[in-house]
Structure formats: C-alpha cells, structure tokens
A and B are shown apart, each in its own frame.
Chain A
Amino acid sequence: MDFSECFKLSNQLCRFSPDGKCLASGVQYRLVVRSANTLQILQLFTCVDQIQHIEWSSDSQFILCAMYKRGVVQVWSLEQPDWHCKIDEGSAGLVASCWSPDGRHILNTTEFHLRITVWSLCTKSVSYIKYPKACQQGIAFTKDGRYMALAERRDCKDYVSLFVCSDWQLLRHFDTETQDIAGIEWAPNGCVLAVWDTCLEYKILLYSLDGRLLSTYRAYEWSLGIKSVAWSPSSQFLAIGSYDEKVRILNHVTWKKITEFEHPVTVTSPKIVVYKEMEKSPAVETDKLPFPPSRTMASSLFSTKSKYEIVQLPASLHHVKPAVDRANPRIGVGMLAFSSDNCFLATRNDNIPNAVWIWDMQKMKLFVVLEQLCAIQLFQWDPCRSRLAMCTANSRVYLWSPAGCVSVQVPVEGDFQVVSLCWHSTGDSVALTSKENFCICYLEREAEEVK
C-alpha cells in the first residue's frame, strides 16, 4: 500500500472524474485538476470566489464550481481551457447546484427552494421548475440518466414530478400519501421510485415509473421512523434503517419484509467475528533516538500503532446514550451501504458510533462487526470488489474485506485526520481527505489478492 504526498485543499473538495483519469480539488479560489495516476497538475482554473462545491459532468469534460455565497456557478472545460461559463442566479440566491445526467444542463436550486433553474450549455434556453421541496434528498436521477424525480410541495401536500431529462418535459405528476417527504431514491434499474416520509412516521412508498403506487410499507407507528434508505445494486433489496436500531430488508417482488437486522449492544452469536481495534504504543528504543529528533521520527514516536484483534464472544460494544429530549437524537441506523457485488451490507447504528456492522446478504445474517477506537465518520465500498474503506477522523484508514481487516497509518508529516474518503472508479486507489489536505492511497492488486 502506497501513499502519495499530501496536497492542500479546502472544504474537502476532492473528486475523481467519472472516467477515472483526473482528480479535481478546490483550494480557496482555485480549481486544480490533476492526473489521477501521476498527480501532475493538468489544469488550473481560478474562480471568482471561494469554491464551495465541485462536480464533474458525467462525460468528465466539464467541472462545475459552485459559490453559494455569491450565488454564482462557474463551469470549466478540460478540453478547452479557454472556454468559460458563469451562471449568476442573481438576487434569487443559490443553495444547491448539480449536473443533469447528460452533462449539458445545470440545475440550480434557489434560496428558500423557490424554484430550480435548469440552465443548458447547448442552447440559450432556461427552464424553471417551481415548488421544489426542501428536503434531504429532493432530486433523484435514474442511473441511466433518462429520468429525474423531484419532490414537490404545493398547497401543503407532497407531490412527485417525473421529468424526462433529455428535454425536461414533465412525464408524470402525482401526489404521494406522505405527510412530509424526507427523501426519494430511484432503484438502480430505474423503474421503481422509493419515497419515504419524515422521521416522525415510519412510511415508505414505492412508485412505478408510470406513477402507479406499487406498495406501501409501515413497520410501526408512533415512534420515530426511517433514518436512511439504500437500494442494493441489483435493485433486488431495499434496506431501510430506522430509529428503532433496525434495518429492514424489503424484496422487489412483493415489497414485503424479508428480514430485519438488529443492532444490539452485545454480540453473542458465536458465528460472528468481532474485530476490535486495539491501540499499542510502540516500544521506544532510547539509545537509537537521534538527538535533534527529526519531525517524522517525532510523529512516529508519539503516534501509537493500532491493529485489529478478534474479540471473544459475547462482546459488548461501546455505546452512547442518546439525549431523548433533543431533536434528531443520535440513535438508529443512520448509515447504510451495499457492496458493489450485492453480497454485503454495511451499517452503522448511531448510538454505537464506533462499530460497523457487515451483514452477509446471501445468508441474511450478521457476518462481521468492526469496533473502532473512534466514531465512524464515513465508510464506502470499493466500486469493483467487496472491500470497505472506513475513516474515523484520526490518522488511520481502515480496510475490510471478507478475508480480514487492516488498519493503516497514513504516513504523512504532521496531523492528518482522515474525515472523508472516496474510491477511484477502478477501486485501485482511495483519496483520503483531512480538513486541509488530501492524499491518495494506492492499493496494490497483488496484495489485495493475497490478503
């Protein structure tokens, strides 16, 4: 496993291009485009203000830089460095900006979710979509990029509009039986839209592409409901994480529950492997220390090594008692992700913040529990293999695969706390970002095979 040197960035703006050739990062006003392999700077663009959001177009030709404070979006082209485009939302303001799947339209959401402006890079045309709903996940594109679903709110009622992305024509418009939509998400096959209600109520609705209601699922009433939703890449399963610390798996034929995964504080079943990260301070050999200690030496001296150990069962996990009288309590399953091969599901129960639960989707059983020393910030599956990368806001990156797991110290001078990470599209490298820096971690294929 190799690490690159580290580079500056701001606002954790670091994105691989969809084709995997380039890496864009934002440093204050500047947008730096590097080669993903060599990390040499290919282009350097300067924006009018501090960049707050970066997004690659689907064909990796354009990069969108949003500056929400100014209400301005600037678009840069990789092929024609001279080409420029600047979109000013004016007094309407800007809170979100994204590409349409064709990479030729930009959807800007104005302040107060007044409207969504669709700007085209091909024609002068501008379209408005009124009444977008202010919610977690109000816009969803199908994976093939043909359709867009948009959550709307009109006259105190929730609606969903389906648009054809090629010409932004409204395809379907229907009201949903929800109190307050919290989010919408297309199934990867692009034919089923999952719509879930606000956390006050457990309710998830499944709509067909033609607007028919396929099914409604409610696990319980009265207490806090859905916290997170994820489709399996095969569209076969819909995993719903909720505030009752459970994940429920629905099937795609009858839309009934197949099973539910509990996240108890103590793991008792003997078939489960519990890995616990253990910290060990290295033995200091005082006679080998150079007198004016070099910086790397010092950092390595004071940083403790960590490794995983298999815990004897039953194992009890570190858990946090949530404040019940506060809004958005830290309880329930808040993070969910299927592996790219559909075989595993990784979850995090927010009141056991240090543990990642990995479920075997073929046996529908808990497979592994990883307990970290710090709270999990983010985990992400390798886009090509069943390999999970995790970070816990310390100077280590953690990898799990069915063969085992490793904790790797990021060998960078100074303080490098990994708060976010993103995989390269081939799964050969991971970009690790701290608050001000980023570096690339290259994973060797051979090593992976051996592991």
Chain B
Amino acid sequence: MGDWNTIAVPAQLPDNNIPWYTSAKKMSPSSLSIHVLSSPLPLSESTHSFSSAFCTDENIEQSLSYLNMELTTLGFPSLYADSKGKELHVVSVLNCMNELLQLQRRHLRTREEAETQHLKLSSDMDHLQNCYAKLKEQLETSRRETVGLQERDRQLQCKNRNLHLLLKNEKDEVQKLQNIVASRATQYNHDMKRKEREYNKLKERFHQLLMNKKDKKLAMDVLNYVGRVDGKRGGWRTGKTEARNEEEMYKVLLNEYEQRQKQLLVENAELKKLLQQMKKEIISLLPPQKQKPKEKAEDGNGTVNVLSDVEDDSGEINKENMWELSCDTVREQLANSIRKQWRMLKNHVEKLDNQALHVHSRTLNNSDTISREDHELEVERLQLEIQQCKEMVKTQQQLLQQQLTSPSDDDTSLLLKDCYLLEEKERLKEEWKLFKEQKKNFEKERKSFTEAAIRLGLERKAFEEDRGTWLKQQFLNMTSEPYKFEHVKLQSALSGSSDSDSPLTNFRSCQKKSNNLFSDICQTQHELAKSSSTLLDKTSTYRKPSQVKREKQQKILPSGPVASDDTYSLHMWLPANSCTEHLDNLP
C-alpha cells in the first residue's frame, strides 16, 4: 500500500501540473506561482501548510483570482458575480466548495474502492500463484511417476521377453528330451527284442536239451491215483470235447449276457416308467400352454404340425401300451415328443420366471419399499410399545413394592400372606401401642379428673358444711334481716356445681372419639390389605404362563414360616425375577 502511494502521487502530478503551468503563465502571480512550483512534490503532506500559506491578508485578491481561474479551467462556474472579477459571488464560491468537497469525497470513495479491489485482486493473485505452484508441483510429481512407470514397464517387458526366451528354450529342451526319450525307447525296445530273441533261443535250446536228455529225475511218485472230484473219468481229447468246450464257453458267456440284459431291461423299464410319469406330469402341468403353441404351429409351420400329429400318434400308441414295444420303433417319436414338451415346459418356466421377476421388481419398486417403511414404522411402534410396557411393568413393581413391603407371589401366596399378616400385625401392634399410650394418657387424665372430682366433692362437702354453717348462721340471723338475697345466691352456687361436672363428660366423649379414630385406622388398614390383595390377584393372573418356572423357584424358596430375613430376601429377588418374566411374557 505504501508503495502504491509513493507511485501514485507522482503519477497524479502531470495531470495537475498542466493546468498549473498554464494558469501560471496566464496569471503569473509570481510569488504564488513560485510557491506553488516549489511545492508540487510534497503536495499531499503539506496541503494544510500550503493552504494556510496560500492566502494571506495581502494576497486575497490574487488568490481569489487564481482560484477563480483554476476553477474555471476545471469547469466550475466563475467565482465572481460579474465577468470582470470585481465582486465575489459568495453563492458560487460556496457551491464550488461544496462541489469540490463532494468531488473530494467521491474521489476518496473511489480510491477506497480501488484499494479494496486492489487488495482483493492481490489476494486473488496470491491464491492463484499458490495454486499455480501447487499444480506445478503436481505436474512434476506426475511426470516423475510416469517416468517411473515407464521404466517399470520397460523392465517388465524386458523380463517378459526374457521369460519368453526362457520358455522357448524350455520348450526346445522338452522337445529335445522327448525326442531323446523316444529314441531311447525305440533303442531300448530294439535291444530288448534282440535280447529276448537270444533268450528265447537259449530257452529253446535248453528245452530241447531237457527233452532229449530224458531226465530220470523228472517224475511223479504217487502211491495211488486219486479219483476226480466229480467222480468221472477224464475223457479223451477229441474234436468232440473241443466242440463241447466251445459250447460250454458260449453258454457261460450267454448266461452272463442274459443276466446283464435282464438287469438292463429292468433298469430300462424303470427309466421308461419314470419318463412316462414325467411326461404325464408335464402334460398335466401344461394344459393351457399346450394349446397355444399348437395353434401357433398351425398358423405358422407345417413341420411342427407333423410333430404334434406324431405326438398324437404316439399318444395313441401310448394307450396301447407302447412300453411293451421295442424301443426302436417309438424311440424317435417318444424322444421328439418329450423334447418338445420339455421345451414347452422350459419356456413356460422361463416365462413364469420372467413374470415373477417382473412382479418382484415391481413390488420392489412400488409396494415393497412402502411396506418396508411400514414395517420399520411398525417395528418402531412396537418397540416403543415394548418400552412402555416395560416401564409400566417397572412402575407396577415399584408400586407393588411400595405397597407391600412384603413381596407377593402367586404360588407362595399363602406364605406371603403370612408375611403380609405379620406386617399388618406389627403395624397393628404399633397402633396398639400408640393406642395404649393414648389410653394411658387418657387414664392419667381420668385419674386427674377423678381426683379433681374427689377434690371437688370434698370441696363441695366443705362448701356444704360451710353453707350449712352459714345457713345456720343465716337462719339464726334471718329472723331479723334480708332472706331473699341469700336465696338467689344459693341458686347460683348450685348451678355452678352442675357446671363443674362437665369435664368428666367431656373426657368420655373424648374417649369415644379416640375409639372412633382407632376403628377408622383399622378400616383403612383393612382396605389397604384388600387393595393389595386385588393387586396380587392381578399380578397372579398376569404371571400364569410362567407358573412352571415359579414352581421351581418355589422349591428353592424356604417353605414354612417365614422369618423377616426371608421376607427380605424374597423381597430382594422378586423384582428382578418378575421383571424378567414380564419380559418373557411380552410378545
């Protein structure tokens, strides 16, 4: 940025300078022009000082005229009202100033814009340069790679060529060796034959010698000859025996062949049966398809028509038990018909396959996806439901636990009931204790009341005695003074004594109230028990499917009276257990 500034300032100069010079020539305010000329370079820095130095008290006129000239050259209206330049027109001056200021602002804005543009461009430039460098690098590496690959390719080709050469050599070698082997073999055979001939000659010679020599040792020494196994005597060798032997041999062969033929016949028959069955099945499978090709055939080709005729014929023969015939006559027909039917079946199956594929693809395209979505939704829903159910089960269990500090179990209900009763008893005991305490309190109160009553009675007695004495006195005094007043006082005293009786009655009512409260408590207890038992019933119905399991578990449980520890343990294992069961019960 700094660079730009330094460059930009002199570049501006020439544009400004031209009018400067021209105006100077025209106006020639020597001091000013000198001053101006002397300060073109530090223009930007010293505008302030310059302006302050530009106009002084002495040269107002000159500066005005100069400014006027300058402005007129720049296209502003004249500063003077008249053309002679005597009277300063303030409005125009102000206008000019305003305009100048606006211009200045505009210039500044454009400059800013230019600067930002420049910044942007330079950053772009940087980026592009970077990109360029990177790409250059890439190009370099890829170039290197290609060179490497080319080198490898070349090497491989070289190798390949070598291998080809080797292979060729090997082949040649093999050929050579084979030739050698062959020649050796022939040589070996030749030698063998020669040797064998010699050997044979020797053998012959030996044999002759043996025969000529009449070997005395060559003999059989038998005590007596044994009979033949079959008991017959050996016959002479004649042409007859030879013929008989031949006959026998052929008989043996014939037997063998007959046997084999029989086997083959059986096999054949089975195969034929199979074939027929297959044919039947095919026919039964393809009644509608069979019609169509026939029609087609009638429409199109004569040969196929013939074929179908043939088939019909064979079908007729078939009815006349074709299978007993020799295969030769019907083989071709049979084969043809079978082949044709087979083809039809194949077509049919292919068609079906195609259809199935189509249907499948269609369903895949349309309904299947939806159904899958549905399915997923359903699954989600179900999972949610399961979750809910689980939660419900949990809360139920918690409630159960809260309600019954003793666990409830269907099969162990009796036992559990016992537990429950124990709990209740305990609670009742507590209640009872409370009640007893209350009673004690009441009793205390009663005692105090009775004491108070006794005291009262005593007081009363005393009072009565007092009264008696006082009455006596009064009576003694009455004969003379006011009798009426005394009577009223006695009345009030009597009413006051009746009032003093009320605390005891009060106590009684209080006792009654407490009794009521107790019964109330009892009732609530009872209701609680009832509700819990109903809950138990509910759970028992809920758990029925896994009763077998429970029974097993019951065996594990300690039977008989259950200690509090046991109840605790029961309590402990029940939730987990029931939870798993509920899970089992869930679909």
A-to-B contact residues, CB < 8 Å: 59, 77, 82-92, 102-104, 112, 114-115, 119-126, 130, 146-147, 153, 155-156, 164, 167, 169, 171, 179, 189-191, 208-210, 222
Instruction: Please give the distance in Å from B267's CB to the nearest CB on chain A.
Output: 10
Shortest C-beta distance, A180 to chain B (Å), equals: 8
Question: Is the pair A210, B249 in contact by a Cβ cutoff of 8 Å?
Answer: yes
Tell me how far the C-beta of B303 lies from the nearest C-beta in chain A, rounded to whole angstroms: 35
Instruction: Evaluate contact between A122 and B245: CB separation under 8 angstroms.
Output: no
Known contacts A103-B229, A122-B226; decide if A88 and B218 are in contact (CB<8 Å). yes
Question: Cβ of B213 < 8 Å from any Cβ of A?
Answer: yes
Q: How long is the Cα–Cα vector from A287 to B456 in the complex, in angstroms? A: 109
Closest-CB distance, A353 to chain B (whole angstroms): 29
Q: B250 — which chain A residues lie within 8 A by C-beta? A: 210
Q: Does any Cβ of A come within 8 Å of B256's Cβ?
A: yes
Residues of the B chain whose Cβ atoms lie less than 8 Å from the Cβ of A102 = 228-229
A167-B235, A191-B253, A191-B256 known; A122-B241 Cβ under 8 A: no
CB-based contact B206/A114 at 8 Å: yes
B189, B215, B234, B253: the one contacting A209 at CB < 8 Å is: B253
A-B contact pairs, 11 of them (CB 8 A): A84-B221, A85-B220, A85-B223, A88-B220, A90-B219, A104-B226, A114-B203, A120-B234, A126-B220, A155-B200, A190-B252
Inter-subunit contact B203/A83 (CB<8 Å): no
The one of A86, A91, A164, A169 in contact with B221, judged by C-beta atoms closer than 8 angstroms, is A86
What residue in chain B is nearest A92 (Cβ atoms)?
B210
Task: Assess A123 versus B225: contact at CB under 8 Å? Given A169-B245, A210-B249.
Answer: yes
Contacts of B440 in A (CB 8 A): none
Across-interface contacts of B207 in A (CB, < 8 A):
114-115, 130
B193 CB-CB contact with A under 8 Å = yes
For residues 206 through 258 of chain B, which have their beta carbon under 8 Å from a beta carbon of chain A?
206-207, 210, 213, 215-229, 234-235, 237, 241-242, 245-246, 248-250, 252-253, 256
Complex contact B203–A112 (CB within 8 A): yes
Q: Are A124 and B223 in contact (CB under 8 A)?
A: no
Least Cβ–Cβ distance between B239 and chain A, in angstroms? 11
- Say how far A18's CB is from chain B's closest CB, in angstroms: 13
Q: Is the CB of A83 within 8 A of B246?
A: no
A89 to B200, CA, bound (A): 21
Contact present for A121 and B222 (CB under 8 Å):
yes
Residues on the B chain within 8 Å of A171, using CB = 245-246, 249
Is B196 part of the binding interface, using a Cβ–Cβ cutoff of 8 Å?
A: yes
> For the complex, what is the distance from the CA of A277 to the CA of B228, rounded to whole Å?
51
Most chain B CB inside 10 Å of its own CB: which residue of A82, A92, A125: A92
- In the complex, the answer to whether A156 meets B219 with C-beta atoms within 8 Å is no
Give B220's nearest chain A residue, CB to CB.
A87
In the assembled complex, the CB of A131 is this many whole angstroms from the nearest CB of chain B, namely 9
CA distance A381 to B586 in the complex (A): 62
- Main secondary structure, interface of B, reads helix
Q: Which B residues touch A85, using CB under 8 A?
A: 220-223
Distance, CA A209 to CA B248, complexed state (A): 11
Pair B219/A88 contact, Cβ less than 8 Å: yes
Interface residue count for B (Cβ, 8 Å)?
Answer: 40
- In angstroms, Cα B207 to Cα A353, docked, is 43
A120 to B229, CA, bound (A): 12
B197 at the binding interface (Cβ < 8 Å): yes
A372 nearest CB across to chain B (Å): 38
Cβ contact within 8 Å between B215 and A92: yes
Number of A-B residue pairs with CB-CB distance less than 8 Å in the complex they form: 109
Closest chain-A Cβ to B342's Cβ sits at a distance in Å of 25
Q: Beyond A122-B225, A210-B250, is A91–B215 a contact (Cβ under 8 Å)?
A: yes
Contact status A121-B226, CB under 8 Å: yes
- Asked whether A88 lies within 8 Å of B217 as measured between CB atoms, the reply is yes
Task: Return the chain A residue nearest B235 by Cβ.
Answer: A167
User: In the complex, A179 Cα to B193 Cα: how many Å?
Assistant: 11
* Contact A167 to B228, CB < 8 A, known contacts A88-B219, A115-B207: no
Across the interface, which residues of A come within 8 angstroms of B210, CB to CB?
90-92, 114
CB-nearest residue of chain B to A187 = B256
Contact B253 A208 (CB under 8 A): yes
Question: Cβ of B193 and Cβ of A156 under 8 Å apart?
Answer: yes
Q: Is the CB of B234 within 8 A of A122?
A: yes
Q: Are A89 and B221 in contact (CB under 8 A)?
A: no
Q: How far is the CB of B169 from chain A (nearest CB, A)?
A: 21
Q: Which of B213, B216, B223, B227 contacts A84 (CB 8 A)?
A: B223
7 A-B pairs closest in CB distance: A90-B218, A90-B217, A90-B215, A191-B256, A85-B222, A86-B221, A121-B226
Q: List 10 additional contacts besides A91-B215, A104-B226, A114-B210; criterion CB under 8 Å.
A: A86-B221, A86-B222, A90-B210, A90-B218, A90-B219, A114-B207, A115-B207, A121-B222, A155-B200, A169-B245
Contact residue among A90, A123, A189 (Cβ-Cβ distance under 8 Å from B256) = A189
Supposing A121-B226, A209-B252, A210-B250 touch, asked if A167 and B203 sit within 8 A by C-beta, the answer is no
Query: Of A82, A121, A155, which is in contact with the most chain B CB atoms at under 10 Å from its CB?
Result: A121
Closest to A252 in B: B260
A91 touching B234 by the CB < 8 A rule?
Answer: no
A103 to B242, CA, bound (A): 22
A112 to B181 alpha-carbon distance, docked (Å): 30
- B253 near A167: Cβ-Cβ < 8 Å: no
Within 8 A of A (CB), among B17-35: none
Contact B227 A122 (CB under 8 A): yes
Complexed CA–CA distance, A167 and B239 (Å): 13
* A155, B201: Cα distance in complex, Å: 10
Looking at the assembled complex, report how far the CB atom of B302 sits from the nearest CB atom of chain A, in whole angstroms.
40
* A119-B213 contact, Cβ under 8 Å, with A114-B203, A189-B256, A210-B249: no
Closest to B227 in A: A122
State which of B219, B223, B225, B241 has its C-beta within 8 Å of the C-beta of A169.
Answer: B241
Residues of A close to B192: CB separation below 8 A: 156
Contact A169/B242 with A90-B218, A91-B217, A190-B252 known, Cβ cut-off 8 Å:
yes
In contact, B253 and A104 (Cβ under 8 angstroms): no
State the CA gap A119–B372 with chains docked (Å).
93
Across the interface, which residues of A come within 8 angstroms of B256, CB to CB?
A: 189-191
Identify which of B218, B225, B242, B246 contacts A89 (C-beta below 8 A): B218
Contact A104 B228 (CB under 8 A): yes
Shortest B186–chain A CB gap in Å is: 12
Chain B residues closer than 8 Å to A209, beta-carbon distance:
249, 252-253
A91–B211 Cα distance when bound, in Å, is 11
